[in-house]
């Protein structure tokens, strides 16, 4: 089976037309990547109906062992078709090949991990002792939620999609997936892989399109959807919550962040600067976990700031397949306009820019792309908007602190609560400060190091709930307690 011309929706294991088309444009050079079929309300309805029907068929009676085996076959097929998935991710996002390769590997790992987790995880059981020697056996069964809507953003498209689809299928749900309008390609390829791996009709469906007033809204408002898992901006999460509210449907949200890094004077500063460079610039700053606020103990502030600025100057823009490229473009010209708006705002707020802060002139056919230089600002504090609002680009504000309590107070002074990184040689301090961060994930002397069994998510405006390992099983299934009088 080969991909049809244009990217179509996928319903009941068949590719189907939408109601309109939109163009997916390359952020590298402005060329056309694909024409995409936008699912109207009718295609969304058909996808949800197909997903409902599949729950009534053999899929609804499948065993954990059968589903774990299926997940492993999907992982195998992802690995076999990794070059195509890689090409799709690169075409949509323009990210360097090495980075995209990690994401494809992670997609396979997502399926393998949740095959293992679902196969190994039991449920509570209690022998209840009653008066006069009577007893009752209580045990819990894990039932799927039903039809799960999966809505994901453009920054790590395949990684984030499979991070949700794998546990949803492991628990016996059916899914209707809406990838970002900016990154439709890998989801369509994944649909082919699902068929090849033997996923039954209606279990995995893809609907393409936009959010408000389009596919995303039609899907989240659909009365036959039983749960919604979403990764994206906090404001979108709020809109989806409103759509979920009338039927009190469960939601799992991984949202935005304004993540802090804390560098103490006793840190291995070379390692800290290296880690900061990774956490500020990876994927051109378009990872929800990226650091946008760097708090540095005053005595080493200058050394760290100059070191990070030097790392910014060493970034190399270029086509994704050039082995010298370290940094791709932003996802779109529209997103670049938003990020450049923050660059202008930083200037108005009186920032001193240590590096970059504009649009690079690259030539070689790249000038129609969404390229941007990094920006590092000093001279600001937590009151400034660029230190408070999520930018989602390769930019950070650097602020000095004195003492542990001030560092913790500054880092926690945000409505977000996704991730933090603490750099120190004093491990006692590392544990202590990491534990005082009001976030979902706190790293010590590293950043974005993952164990897929651990809880992932955000506090405050950064999300609701946790996914990962058994935490995902809790969201994607509904326990039924059975009490048997003996
Ligand atoms: P976005 O919220 O604009 O879009 C995400 C998805 O939601 C897209 O598929 C979009 O079409 C859809 N959508 C938009 N409006 C909708 C609506 N009203 N109803 C239903 N669906 C709707 O986010 P984005 O711009 O694609 O991604 C960037 C944002 O995502 C950043 O804020 C970033 O921090 C966040 N993010 C968070 C995490 C995390 O794990 N916490 C991970 C990645 C990205
Ligand atoms: O690694 C993950 O599991 C995950 N959900 C990453 C999210 C990154 C945000 O951009």
User: What SS3 state is found at 227?
Assistant: strand
Which protein residue's CA is at the shortest distance from atom 3 of ligand 2?
163
Domain count, the chain: 2
**Atom 23, ligand 1: residue with shortest CA distance:** 232
Ligand 2 close to Cβ of residue 344 (< 6 A): no
According to DSSP, residue 97 is labeled H
Report percent pLDDT > 90 for the chain: 98
Query: What's the CA-to-centroid distance between 160 and ligand 2, angstroms?
Result: 6
Which residues are registered as beta bridge partners of 206? 10, 177
Please answer whether residues 283 and 89 qualify as being in contact, where contact means their C-beta atoms are separated by less than 8 angstroms: no
Q: What is the pLDDT of residues 61-107, one digit of tens each?
A: 999 999 999 999 999 999 999 999 999 999 999 999 999 999 999 99
Q: Are residues 53 and 161 in the same domain?
A: yes
Q: Residue 175 pairs with which residues in a beta bridge?
A: 148, 204
Could you tell me the distance, in angstroms and rounded to a whole number, from the CA of residue 289 to the centre of ligand 2?
7
Under 8 Å between Cβ of 214 and 185: no
- 456 in any annotated domain: no
Task: Give residues (CB < 6 A) around ligand 1.
Answer: 151-155, 178, 180-181, 210-212, 216-217, 220, 231-233, 236, 239-240, 254-257, 288, 390, 392, 418, 458, 462-463
Query: Which residue in 247, 275, 255, 249 sits closest to 263, CA to CA?
Result: 275
Does residue 39 share a domain with residue 160?
A: yes
Same domain, yes or no, for 232 and 278? no
On whether residue 399 sits in a domain, the answer given is yes
pLDDT above 90 (res 355) = no
Where do runs of H (alpha helix) occur along 182-324?
185-197, 215-220, 234-244, 269-281, 301-313
Residue 2 has pLDDT above 80, yes or no: no
Residue of 445, 352, 437, 340 whose CA lies nearest to 399: 352
Tell me: do 265 and 135 sit in the same domain.
no
pTM: 0.96
Give the C-alpha separation, 417 to 459, whole Å.
5
- Is residue 81 domain-resident? yes
**Which of 361-365, 424-428, 471-475 has the weakest average pLDDT?**
361-365
**Whole-angstrom distance, CA of residue 373 vs CA of residue 377:** 13
450 lines ligand 2 (CB under 6 A): yes
209-221, pLDDT tens digit by residue?
Answer: 999 999 999 999 9
281: exposed, middle or buried (Cβ count in 10 Å: 0-12, 13-18, 19+)? buried
**How many angstroms is it from 464 CA to the middle of ligand 1?**
14
Ligand 2 pocket mutation, candidates 154, 159, 162, criterion most atoms within 8 A of CB: 159
**Mutual orientation of helices 185-197 and 64-80 as an angle, nearest 10°?**
130
Task: Catalogue the E-assigned strands of 384-485.
Answer: 395-401, 419-423, 441-444, 463-464, 477-485
Predicted confidence (pLDDT) at residue 56 exceeds the cutoff of 70: yes
What's the rounded mean pLDDT across residues 258-266? 98
**Per-residue pLDDT at 350:** 97
The answer to the question of residue 409 being in a domain is yes
Q: In terms of domains, do 353 and 471 share one? A: no
Neighbouring residues of 242: CB distance < 8 A, sequence distance ≥ 6: none
pLDDT (tens digit per residue) in 219-251: 999 999 999 999 999 999 999 999 999 999 999
**Contact predicate 128/358, CB 8 Å:** no
Ligand 2 contact, 253 CB (< 6 A) = no
* pLDDT for res 5: 54
The pLDDT tens digits of the residues spanning 113-126 come to: 999 999 999 999 99
Select from 107, 152, 156 the residue to mutate for testing ligand 2; criterion: most ligand atoms less than 8 Å from CB.
156
Asked if 401 and 297 count as a contact pair (C-beta separation under 8 A), the reply is yes
Angle at 282 (CA atoms; ends 251, 401), nearest 5 degrees: 90
- C-alpha 266/C-alpha 276 separation (Å) is 16
Q: Write out the residue range of the structural domain in which residue 291 sits.
A: 259-451
User: Ligand 2: which of 151, 258, 283, 456 to mutate, most ligand atoms within 8 Å of CB?
Assistant: 456
Ligand 2 lined by 50 (C-beta under 6 Å):
no
Query: Residue 108 Cα, ligand 1 centroid: separation in angstroms?
Result: 23
Query: pLDDT averaged over the chain?
Result: 97
- Please check whether residues 50 and 33 belong to one and the same domain: yes
**Ligand 2 mean position, distance from CA 447 (Å):** 12
- CATH code, domain carrying 57: 3.40.605.10
Which of 309-313, 364-368, 411-415 is predicted with the least confidence, judged by mean pLDDT?
364-368
Residue 263 shares a structural domain with residue 160? no
Length of the chain: 486
Q: Is residue 45 part of a domain?
A: yes
pLDDT at 29 over 70: yes
Q: How far apart are the CA of 2 and the centre of ligand 1, in A?
A: 29
Considering 288, 290, 297, 349, which one is annotated as catalytic? 288
Per the annotation, the verdict on 288 as an active-site residue is yes
Q: For 148-182, how does the pLDDT look when each residue is reduced to its tens digit (9 = 90+)?
A: 999 999 999 999 999 999 999 999 999 999 999 99
Which residue shows structure tokens 């309805």?
Answer: 45
| 219 and 283 assigned to the same domain | no
Residue 4 has a pLDDT of 38
Q: Does some domain include residue 1?
A: no
Residue 323 Cα, ligand 1 centroid: separation in angstroms?
A: 30
| Residue 42 tokens, joined | 């009718």
Return the residue whose CA atom lies nearest to atom 19 of ligand 1. Answer: 217
Q: Would the pLDDT of 257 be above 60?
A: yes
> What CATH number has the domain bearing residue 305?
3.40.309.10
CB 190 within 8 A of CB 184: no
Q: Is 254 a catalytic residue?
A: yes
Interatomic CA distance for residues 433 and 407, integer angstroms: 9
Say yes or no: 153 and 75 in one domain. yes
Does one domain contain both 386 and 471? no
Q: Which of 153, 208, 330 to mutate to test the pocket of ligand 1 (most atoms within 8 A of CB)?
A: 153
- pLDDT value of residue 356: 86
């Amino acid at each position: 089976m080969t991909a049809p011309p244009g990217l179509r929706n996928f319903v009941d294991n068949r590719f189907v037309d939408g109601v309109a088309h939109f163009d997916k444009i390359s952020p590298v050079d402005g060329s056309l990547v694909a024409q995409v079929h936008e699912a109207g309300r009718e295609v969304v309805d058909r996808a949800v109906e197909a997903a409902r029907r599949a729950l009534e068929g053999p899929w609804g009676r499948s065993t954990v062992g059968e589903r774990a085996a299926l997940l492993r076959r999907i992982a195998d097929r992802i690995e076999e078709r990794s070059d195509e998935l890689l090409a799709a991710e690169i075409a949509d996002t323009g990210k360097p090949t090495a980075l995209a390769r990690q994401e494809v590997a992670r997609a396979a790992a997502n399926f393998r991990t949740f095959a293992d987790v679902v196969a190994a995880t039991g449920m509570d059981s209690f022998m209840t002792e009653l008066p006069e020697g009577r007893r009752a056996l209580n045990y819990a069964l894990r039932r799927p939620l039903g039809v799960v809507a999966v809505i994901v953003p453009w920054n790590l498209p395949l990684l984030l999609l499979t991070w949700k689809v794998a546990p949803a299928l492991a628990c016996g749900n059916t899914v209707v997936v809406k990838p970002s309008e900016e990154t439709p390609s890998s989801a369509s390829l994944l649909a082919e892989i699902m068929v090849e791996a033997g996923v039954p009709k209606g279990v995995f469906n893809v609907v393409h399109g936009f959010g408000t007033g389009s596919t995303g809204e039609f899907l989240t408002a659909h009365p036959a959807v039983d749960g919604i898992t979403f990764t994206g901006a906090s404001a979108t999460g709020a809109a989806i919550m409103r759509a979920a509210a009338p039927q009190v449907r469960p939601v799992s949200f991984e949202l935005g962040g304004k993540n802090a890094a804390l560098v103490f004077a006793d840190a291995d500063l070379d390692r800290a600067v290296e880690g900061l460079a990774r956490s500020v610039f990876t994927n051109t700053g378009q990872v929800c976990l990226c650091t946008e606020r760097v708090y540095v103990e005053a005595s080493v502030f200058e050394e760290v700031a100059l070191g990070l600025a030097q790392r910014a100057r060493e970034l190399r823009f270029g086509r994704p397949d050039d082995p010298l490229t370290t940094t791709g473009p932003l996802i779109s010209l529209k997103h670049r306009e938003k990020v450049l708006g923050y660059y202008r705002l930083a200037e108005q707020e009186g920032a001193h820019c240590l590096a970059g802060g504009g649009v690079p002139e690259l030539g070689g056919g790249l000038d129609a792309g969404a390229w941007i230089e990094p920006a590092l600002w000093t001279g600001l504090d937590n009151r400034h908007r660029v230190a408070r609002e999520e930018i989602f680009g390769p930019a950070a504000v650097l602020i000095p602190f004195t003492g542990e309590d001030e560092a913790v107070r500054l880092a926690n002074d945000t409505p977000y609560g996704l991730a933090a990184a603490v750099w120190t040689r004093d491990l006692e301090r590392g544990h202590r400060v990491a534990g005082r961060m009001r976030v979902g994930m706190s790293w010590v002397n590293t950043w974005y190091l993952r164990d897929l069994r651990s809880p992932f998510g955000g506090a405050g405006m950064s999300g609701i709930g946790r996914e990962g390992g058994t935490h995902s099983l809790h969201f994607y299934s509904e326990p039924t307690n059975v009490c048997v009088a003996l």
